[in-house]
Chains A and B, each alone.
Chain A
Amino acid sequence: MSSTNGYSINVNDLVVRLGNFTIHDGLSLQVRNGEIIAVVGASGTGKSVLLKTIIGLIKPVNGTIEIFGRNSNQLSSKEAHEVRRRCGVLFQDGALFGSLTVNENIQIPIKEHVKLPQKTREELSALKLSMVGLDRDVGNKYPSELSGGMRKRVGLARALALDPELLFLDEPTAGLDPIGAAAFDQLLLELQKNLHLTVFIVTHDLDTIYTVSNRVAVLGEKKLLVSGSLEEVSAFDHPWVQDYFHGDRSRVINH
Chain B
Amino acid sequence: MKNQKGWLQVGGADRTMQISAGGFWTIDHVSDLQPAVDGLVIDRTADTEVDFRKIERMDTAGAYLAEQLLSRLDDSTSHQVLSNQHVDSILETVSRYKASAAVRKPRPNALIKIIERIGKATLEALDLAACFVVFIGDITRHLIATIVRPARFRFSLTMTQIELSGFNAIPIISLISFLIGIVIAYQGALQLGKLGAEIYTIDLLAVTILREMGILLSAIVIAGRSGSTFAAEIGSMKINEELDAMYTIGMNPMEVLVLPRVIGLTISLPILTLIANFFGVIGGGLIVWLVMDVSPTMFTNQFVSSLSPWTFWVGLIKAPVFAAIIAVIGCYEGMQVSGSAESLGTHTTRAVVESIFLIIVFDALFSIFFGVIGI
A interface, how many residues as a size bin?
20 to 34
Stretch at the interface among A17-25, A129-137, A245-253: A129-137
Nearest chain A residue, comparing its CB with the CB of B62: A163
Contacts of A101-140 to chain B: CB distance below 8 A: 110, 114-117, 120, 123-124, 126-131, 136-137
Cα-based distance from A145 to B338 in the complex (angstroms): 10
Contacts of A141-156 to chain B: CB distance below 8 A: 142-145
**Chain B, interface SS category:** helix
**Chain A, interface SS category:** helix
Return A117 CB to nearest CB of chain B, in Å.
7
- The answer to whether A1 and B57 have CB atoms under 8 Å apart is yes
What's the A-B contact tally at a CB cutoff of 8 Å?
78
- The answer to whether B27 and A114 have CB atoms under 8 Å apart is yes
As a 0/1 sequence over residues 186 to 203 of chain A, the CB contacts with chain B under 8 angstroms (1 = contact) are 000011011100000000
Residues in chain A near residue B340, CB distance under 8 A: 98-99, 142-144
Contacts of B59-88 to chain A: CB distance below 8 A: 59-61, 64
B306 at the interface (CB under 8 A from A): no
Cα-based distance from A191 to B341 in the complex (angstroms): 33
Residues in chain A near residue B101, CB distance under 8 A: 123, 126-127, 129-130, 136
B interface, how many residues as a size bin?
20 to 34
A162 at the interface (CB under 8 A from B): yes
Return B106 CB to nearest CB of chain A, in Å.
13
State which of B57, B64, B104 has its C-beta within 8 Å of the C-beta of A124. B64
Cα-based distance from A40 to B37 in the complex (angstroms): 46
Cα-based distance from A136 to B101 in the complex (angstroms): 6
Return B118 CB to nearest CB of chain A, in Å.
20
- The answer to whether B30 and A127 have CB atoms under 8 Å apart is no
As a 0/1 sequence over residues 12 to 56 of chain B, the CB contacts with chain A under 8 angstroms (1 = contact) are 000000000000001110110010000000000000000000000
- The answer to whether A130 and B98 have CB atoms under 8 Å apart is yes
Cα-based distance from A142 to B338 in the complex (angstroms): 11
Cα-based distance from A115 to B26 in the complex (angstroms): 12
Residues in chain A near residue B93, CB distance under 8 A: 131, 190-191, 194
Cα-based distance from A162 to B60 in the complex (angstroms): 9
Return B26 CB to nearest CB of chain A, in Å.
7
Q: Knowing A130-B100, A136-B103, A195-B59 are in contact, say whether A99-B31 is a contact too (CB < 8 A).
A: no
Return A194 CB to nearest CB of chain B, in Å.
5
Return A119 CB to nearest CB of chain B, in Å.
10
- The answer to whether A144 and B343 have CB atoms under 8 Å apart is yes
Please list the 4 inter-chain residue pairs (A to B) with the smallest Cβ-Cβ separation, ordered nearest first: A144-B339, A98-B340, A163-B59, A130-B101
Q: CB within 8 Å of B: which residues of A? A: 1, 98-99, 110, 114-117, 120, 123-124, 126-131, 136-137, 142-145, 160, 162-163, 190-191, 193-195
In the complex, given contacts A116-B30, A127-B97, what are 8 additional A-B residue pairs having Cβ atoms less than 8 angstroms apart? A114-B28, A115-B31, A116-B31, A117-B31, A127-B94, A131-B60, A142-B340, A143-B340
